């Protein structure tokens, strides 16, 4: 029989808690009528899940953020040094018409260790690309990110990502997020286990208006990355989550697949389950596995995905990472913990824990969200 010394037990569980944190904290809130609201509830929910992070990364994505520039692409760029600023702005000037540019507003009274230079640009692509502007912007963002010291961490229209190294509540104050409003917020607190904690590696990950926050670990990252590279994506942020954002962009925006089909690709049923299905359903799943096998996300994960008009929650098929959901009037909530939802919505109309592989979908201009019977 092996016994532990009391001091070892205290180090591993200093508060004698039974709770299993399961790493990163996720929270999403959306008003399906399109009402824009402040950061207060998003910050309050993340404070409730403070112990899910370790201060090595956090961030927020806000939708409906820039109504005065709603037709322009809003590029949020982090530069690691002054030379990168010149190189990045030269590239942006050659490829985009810059309608407006400024530093990302921060609270200088808050001490931050070695922050990057943060700028934002509201732009339109240059040249005869009117029929494919999204593809031009996607390609340009990836080219900037491969330069090495400049990183576009937000590139959609009428939305923005704010992220860095720190706890969510601290970064919210640093970026002065209480001054912003949006109809949808997704928020993340990071607990990295096998990748570095740095500004570019914080969540959300974004391409165009697709943003992803993730709790878990993808053992399939290498296969996923190689599959996406055949479609022109490049992974540069030193973390497995980046493939999630690109996968949703590829499947739903570029290939026009539904939420349900995308979930079947990323979190497919086991072959034993497919063999037990009716013939037609089994053929669909078999075809998806054959065509999109490289995008199967293997390993424990739960994600919240946002793009204009929709918020999606999805956990791996075995539900190895937690995910809860709730609805209250026109508001949809998705979180790692029901307690975070209860903090800002103590009496929801409906609350539930979705099964693994079954997406939760909140849609703009619909007062109802898909809920289990």
Q: What is the pLDDT of residues 293-337, one digit of tens each?
A: 999 999 999 999 999 999 999 999 999 999 999 999 999 999 999
State the Cα–Cα distance between residues 99 and 165, nearest whole angstrom.
30
Residue 299 lies in a domain: no
pLDDT at 22: 61
- Asked if 335 and 341 touch (Cβ cutoff 8 Å), the reply is yes
- Our count of domains for the chain comes to 1
Q: DSSP letter at 252?
A: I
Residue 82 lies in a domain: yes
Residue 71 lies in a domain: yes
b/e per residue, 35-64, with b = 16+ CB within 10 A? eebebebbbebbbbbeebbeebbbbbbbbb
Residue 134 lies in a domain: yes
- Asked if 203 and 165 touch (Cβ cutoff 8 Å), the reply is no
Can you tell me the mean pLDDT for 171-198? 90
Q: Looking at residue 125, which CATH number applies to its domain?
A: 3.30.70.260
Write down the pTM of the prediction. 0.91
Cβ neighbours, 10 Å, residue 305:
28
Residue 127: pLDDT band (50, 70, 90) is: confident
Token pair listed for 300: 């424990």
Those residues with Cβ within 8 angstroms of residue 324's Cβ, 6 or more apart along the chain or in another chain: 334, 335, 336, 337, 338, 341, 351, 352, 353
Q: Which helix (H) or strand (E) holds 61?
A: strand 58-63
State the Cα–Cα distance between residues 23 and 364, nearest whole angstrom.
30
Task: For 26-72, write each residue's pLDDT tens digit.
Answer: 999 999 999 999 999 999 999 999 999 888 899 999 999 999 999 99
Residue 274 lies in a domain: no
- Asked if 328 and 347 touch (Cβ cutoff 8 Å), the reply is yes
Report percent pLDDT > 70 for the chain. Answer: 91
Residues known to be catalytic? 24
Domain span at residue 151?
66-157
């Amino acid at each position: 029989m092996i016994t532990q010394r009391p001091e070892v037990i205290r180090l591993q569980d200093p508060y004698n808690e039974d709770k299993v944190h399961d790493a990163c904290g996720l929270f999403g809130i959306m008003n399906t009528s399109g009402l824009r609201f402040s950061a207060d509830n998003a910050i309050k929910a993340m404070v409730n899940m403070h112990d899910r992070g370790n201060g090595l990364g956090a961030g927020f994505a806000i939708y409906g953020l820039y109504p005065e520039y709603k037709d322009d692409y809003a590029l949020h760029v982090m530069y690691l040094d002054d030379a990168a600023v010149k190189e990045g702005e030269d590239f942006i000037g050659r490829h985009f018409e810059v309608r407006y540019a400024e530093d990302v507003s921060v609270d200088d009274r808050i001490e931050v260790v070695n922050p990057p230079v943060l700028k934002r640009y509201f732009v339109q692509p240059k040249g005869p690309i009117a029929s494919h502007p999204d593809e031009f912007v996607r390609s340009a963002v990836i080219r900037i990110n491969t330069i090495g010291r400049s990183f576009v961490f937000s590139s959609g229209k009428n939305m923005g990502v704010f992220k860095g190294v720190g706890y969510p509540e601290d970064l919210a104050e640093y970026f002065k997020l209480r001054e912003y409003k949006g109809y949808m917020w997704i928020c993340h607190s990071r607990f990295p286990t096998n990748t570095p904690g740095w500004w570019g590696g914080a969540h959300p990950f974004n391409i165009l208006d697709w943003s992803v926050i993730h709790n878990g670990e993808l053992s399939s990252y290498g296969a996923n990355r190689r599959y996406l590279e055949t479609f022109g994506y490049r992974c540069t942020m030193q973390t497995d989550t980046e493939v999630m954002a690109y996968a949703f962009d590829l499947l739903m925006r570029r290939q026009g697949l539904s939420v349900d089909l995308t979930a079947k690709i990323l979190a497919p049923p086991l072959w034993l389950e497919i063999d037990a299905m009716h013939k037609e359903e089994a053929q669909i799943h078999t075809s998806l596995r054959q065509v999109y096998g490289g995008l199967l996300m293997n390993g424990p994960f739960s994600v919240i995905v946002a793009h204009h008009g929709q918020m999606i929650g999805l956990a791996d098929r075995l539900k190895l990472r937690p995910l809860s959901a709730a609805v209250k009037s026109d508001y949809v909530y998705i979180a790692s913990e029901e307690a975070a939802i209860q903090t800002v919505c103590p009496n929801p109309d409906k609350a539930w824990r979705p099964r693994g592989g079954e997406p939760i979908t909140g849609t703009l201009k619909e007062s109802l969200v898909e809920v289990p019977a």
